[in-house]
Structure 1
Amino acid sequence: MSRPGSRLEVRDLHRAFGGVQAVRGVSFTLESGDLLALIGPNGAGKSTCFNLLNGQLRPDRGSVRLDGAELVGLPPRRVWALGVGRTFQITATFASMTVAENVQMVFLSRARRLFGLWRPAAACFREEALALLDRVGMASQAERPCGVLAYGDLKRVELAMALASDPKILLMDEPTAGMAPTERLELMALTAALVRERGLAVLFTEHDMDVVFGHATRVLVLDRGRTIAEGPPEAVRADARVQSVYLGGDA
């Protein structure tokens, strides 16, 4: 279901670890309908930037606002409750629970009905969970334990879990890592469709340039913690500095 438009405003983010400036003055906006790729070489500051956005790290300086509300200083749980969801490079599911139960757990958490955990998990929000699993192509495996799934299928389950939190903004940390090339393109095509259907705004990191330039609506490039380029995919691909620093001149 589509929602009214949301806007994430990131302004002048800085974060240092000792003498290393991991993020230096990063600013951007993310609005409903955006599929923004955050790319750069190893050590560019991508993971640190992600962790600053969802409250896992606090910036030394800067602002992160969701629809005008400041998120800096809030714990990750509160940021999540306000509408910033996240998927991780390494999937985070309960291996012994079924696919459906994993998604139901997110609905339960969102509804703050975690008391009596195991019994409600088998019955509460089941229809909602199955509907999401159908949308991501996993309804036929709803009763299988997550621990026996192929890695690409786990990524789809994790996407359904993220959607169960009803996010306004979705942060996807290397969503196609470990997947076969065809699976990567299919997952990002699904993500792009969900952006349109639900009015989502998505920020994702990715090393596969076919995925980035095939699906992103905008691309933001970091190098040593600084933004060196931002714009439509083709403009970023043609940027001489981006080619020198990250694409190796072969893009």
Structure 2
Amino acid sequence: MTAVLEVEGLHKTFGGLVAVEAASFSVEAGRLFAIIGPNGAGKSTCFNMVGGQLRPDRGAVRLAGRDITGEPPRRIWRLGVGRTFQVAAAFGSMTVAENVQMAFLSHRRRIRALLPPARRLYREEALAVLDRVGMAGQADRQCGQLAYGDIKRVELAVALAHRPKLLLMDEPTAGMAPRERVELMALTAGIVRESGISVLFTEHDMDVVFAHADRLLVLDRGRMVAEGTPAEVRDNPEVQRIYLGGAGAEAALRQIEARQGTRGEARP
């Protein structure tokens, strides 16, 4: 299967602190890849080097074979990378549809179009994306009136508006209730399988990680501890010792398997 994202030997230091050391991995089309690790492990630094918020000291990032190392976030976005953030935000005074329309306006370089005419641009396209995330019925509500879980769905719609090859999701379920977490990640996974988008995400919720990630990268103090399927990571003694507290990984996955009747192995 073709790798949409290839990361090779990423390295970043801040003063004398090595934040990420020689991180290498790839994300295939239609797959979800999670970066996990304890606080201070280097997850955010690695994630932000991929997204362009940080420039690596050395190493390479390639999107569909194209070198995007050190490119600014806006350039990376235009090349086909969507992003959601740990703390979701939207234009509260604008409607749900208008927030998504703004993404279309920006991507198609019509951001200077003035309101009210801009309200008529790309509305049908926006409604189609909102329908995918279950928010079409609230298209004309102001975002400032929405519950936080619905704001997360709007943010996902905005990230999907320009049909990205790769979706970066920083703590996608942060601040959400347990049921909302399950629904959002099930929705995301369904869209990924249907459209072939690749997803790179960071997450602290192990239920989310083990239920939805096809592969995982585990970092600790900037170095790679393990990389593999959920089952392989679950059974890795160093992961259990450093990050998940002994048998924590195995217990987490076993609980998920018991609840969902899942496989305990990698997806085909």
2: distance between equivalents of 1:177 and 1:193?
20
CA deviation map 1:209-238 (0-9, x unaligned): 111101111111111111101111011011
Q: Distance in 2 between matches of 1:67 and 1:216?
A: 20
Counterpart of 2:78 in structure 1: which amino acid? A
Instruction: Give 1:162 deviation, angstroms.
Output: 0.3
Which aligned runs of 4 or more in structure 1 are off by greater than 4 angstroms?
Answer: none
The aligned counterpart of 2:33 is 36
**Cα deviation code 1:79-98 (max 9, x no counterpart):** 11001111100113111111
Structure 1 residue 189 and structure 2 residue 217: aligned? no
* Contact 1:44-1:224 within 8 A present in 2 as well: yes
Give the counterpart letter for 2:20 in structure 1.
Answer: V
- 1:122 matched to 2:119: yes
Distance 1:148 1:225 in 2: 40
Specify the code of the residue in structure 2 equivalent to 1:48: T
The CA distance in 1 between the partners of 2:70 and 2:210, in whole Å, is: 34
Cα distance per residue 1:27-74 (max 9 Å; x no partner):
001111110111000001111111101111100000001122110132
Equivalent in 149, 152, 155 of residue 152 of structure 1:
149
In 1, Cα distance between equivalents of 2:186 and 2:25: 24
Task: Compute the displacement of 1:120 (Å).
Answer: 3.7
Alignment TM-score, normalising by the size of structure 2: 0.90
Residue 221 of structure 2 corresponds to residue 221 of structure 1: no
Q: Which runs of no fewer than 5 residues in structure 2 stay unpaired? A: 250-268
**One-letter identity of the residue aligned with 1:24:** E
Q: 1:243 aligns with which of 240, 243, 255?
A: 240
Equivalent-residue separation in structure 1 for 2:143 and 2:200 (angstroms): 26
Report if aligned partners of 1:219, 1:230 keep a CA contact under 8 Å in 2: yes
Residue 5 of structure 1 contacts residue 199 of structure 1 at CA under 8 Å; is this kept in 2?
Answer: no
Give the deviation of 1:119 after TM superposition.
Answer: 2.5
SS in 1 for 2:243: helix
Would the aligned equivalents of 2:49 and 2:70 in 1 still touch at CA under 8 Å?
A: no
Structure 1, unaligned runs of 5 or more: none
Using the size of structure 1 for normalisation, the TM-score is 0.96
Matching of residues 41-56 of structure 1 within 5 Å: 41-56=38-53
Kindly state the Cα deviation for residue 6 of structure 1 after the two structures are TM-superposed.
Answer: 5.6
SS at match of 1:175: coil
State the alpha-carbon separation in 2 of the partners of residues 55 and 126 from structure 1.
30
Using a 3 Å threshold, how does the CA distance of structure 1 residues 148 and 57 change in structure 2: closer, same or farther?
Answer: same
1:60 maps to amino acid: D
Aligned residue type for 1:73: G
Q: Is the 8 A contact 2:68 2:76 kept in 1?
A: yes
For residues 175-229 of structure 1, the C-alpha deviation after alignment (integer angstroms, 9 at most, x for no partner) is 0001111111111111111111111000111111111101111111111111101
What is the alpha-carbon distance in structure 1 between the residues aligned to residue 19 and residue 244 of structure 2?
A: 21
Cα distance between partner residues in 2 of 1:70 and 1:92: 30
1:142 to 139, 142, 155: 139
| Aligned equivalents of 1:35, 1:135: Cα separation in 2 | 18
The one-letter amino acid of 1:108's match is: L
Root-mean-square deviation (CA, aligned residues, Å) is 1.3
Alpha-carbon distance in structure 2 between the residues aligned to 1:119 and 1:40 = 47
- CA gap of 1:28–1:6, structure 2 versus 1, over 3 A, is closer
CA distance in 1, matches of 2:194, 2:117: 29
Single out whichever of 117-126 and 39-48 deviates more from structure 2.
Answer: 117-126
Distance (Å, rounded) in 1 between the aligned partners of 2:48 and 2:114: 29
Report the 3-state secondary structure (helix = DSSP H, G, I; strand = E; otherwise coil) of the residue aligned with 1:58.
coil
Q: 1:199 aligns with which of 196, 200, 225?
A: 196
Letter in 2 for 1:101: E
In structure 1, what is the Cα distance between the partners aligned to 2:181 and 2:236? 25
Contact 2:135–2:154 (CA<8 Å) still a contact in 1?
Answer: yes
Q: Give the CA deviation at 1:114.
A: 1.1
Alpha-carbon contact 1:229-1:236 (below 8 Å) kept: yes
